[in-house]
Structure 1
Amino acid sequence: MQHLDHSTLSSAASCWHCSCAAASPWQARRAFLRLGGAAALATAGGAALAQVDVGGGSRLRQLVPAETLEEAATQQYQQLLAQAKAQGALAPSTNPQLRRLHTIAGRLVPQATQWNERARSWRWEVNLIGSKEINAFCMPGGKIAFYTGILDKLALTDDEAAMIMGHEMAHALREHSREQLAKNQATNIGLSLGAQLLGLGDLGNAAAKLGSQLLSLRFSRADESDADLVGLEMAARAGYDPQAAVTLWQKMGQATGGGGGNGLAFLSTHPSGPDRIRELQRNVPKVEGLYRQARK
């Protein structure tokens, strides 16, 4: 597997963040995970109520139709994979690292519907792209990708990889992209809240044209904290050690301190720091019971 040439990919995706229709020439190489039916297992053997407190989120996201955004994400994801395949950078289904990611996703996806009922109809996919870049994302609709750089450079354990995947899934489940695009479009169009509601179609059309921006959105610190905590709980419910959230971000901090600035796309949108680590440490005890129960 060759590494991805980002000089030709940059037009399609600058950073990170769908159901497959007709088969494409490269579909056989795409390793995808469709676990919509597994959602019924979400609360099996565990407490149904959330243990972390993240609130209900902004209602502003309702100004952008979820279906529209998920369709845009599908198109962007397929473009990304097509370019990766053309460059020999898309991992085949037999790749051990990809199989490892599928195993992790297979345990995380059943936890998703507690955070978003729409996830029951998502057609989840997990792909691995050969690149030295430290990066991973989950697009609206459950389209997940990891770059080999984030697995190799950070020497991630399964528990730490689960924390990253859970965090990225949480961004999609909590609809942070939908909310951010709604805010951006409301500002750009210059509409009042009442006009936004009346002009829903305009916002929907704008969202459909912004697929490429899904991979370069910068979430707020509140969104990042939200995704940290939701991802932490999802991973704990799936039987992954919540302490790994702390070691993960310690590794992220060390990577940031390494200098050079190369390959740190993930860290440009996910800044590490002592405050983030302290918040995770405060919340780890809340989900340790879920982890112990899952391990039984």
Structure 2
Amino acid sequence: MLLINESHPYVFILLGIPGLQDVECWISIPFCCMYFVAFFGNIIILIIIRSEKSLHEPMFLFLSMLSMTDIVLSSSTLPKMLGIFWFNLREIGFEACLTQMFIIHSFTAMESGFFLAMAFDRFVAICNPLRHSVILSSKAILAVGISVVFRAFLFFLPHPLILESSIFCQSNIIPHTYCEFMAVIKLTCGDSSITKSYSLIIASLMGSCDLLLTITSYTLILHTVLSLPTKKAGLKALSTCTSHILVILVFYTTATFTFVTHRFGPNIQPQIHISIANIYLLVPPMLNPIIYGMRTKKIRQRIIRWMGLRCRDR
């Protein structure tokens, strides 16, 4: 039943994962574990970067921005998702739904932007090390961070505005675990093809441009490394990039699968589509602190030192 407040519902009903409602309690276990790692892992990264002055460098400052983005992104979906799985709390208010949708899309765009910023930092550090501190000064880092946030807000603010002014004449049931734009726009009256195209084009162009510039940065880095006089120096330079390359591969691999399921949605089972969409929002925030914690020497040493102190205190 559609509960109407002028032109839009009072609430939406989130179905969760259609066809898998009987096993949602079991599905919630890995999701809960992923959220736990994502939330507390990124909190630890933030604490370490803030407390360790030697980590107050562009790469780690961008990493802290990425960690804050991951915390917000995962927290915007998982608590509600677990409420659906554990307590059957499937209702979500109209304004809350639009807010969740905006956070998901805009913070995903921010994540992509911060990956590009980190790639640019590695490019400058390896290809032009003498000017690294000049090019990426404190003001420049702040400007990049603000630009990434502003870009995400600018391009995805139309989503909730469009839905706020739309008339809903379909069911208020969303076959998803969270308020995803494509799922909500299908409930509106009239032809929504232009709006859907705008969303897909903006998301694909933004992601493609970021990925292309990131690949360009690493191509130039590889060219510089291969021209170094010694193999040891080249390997040492590349070692500073391995963590970043790994998290980029995870992010863009899941993003590509999600985009493909949107593009060819009618031909893909809803369980697969929604599961991939959930993985896209959970796996990168979970793996980012793990990869950076294990692969980044300064962070790894700080974690080991912190854990050692805790053990001695006991």
- The two structures share one fold, judged by TM-score above 0.5: no
Larger radius of gyration: 2
* Larger helix percent: 2
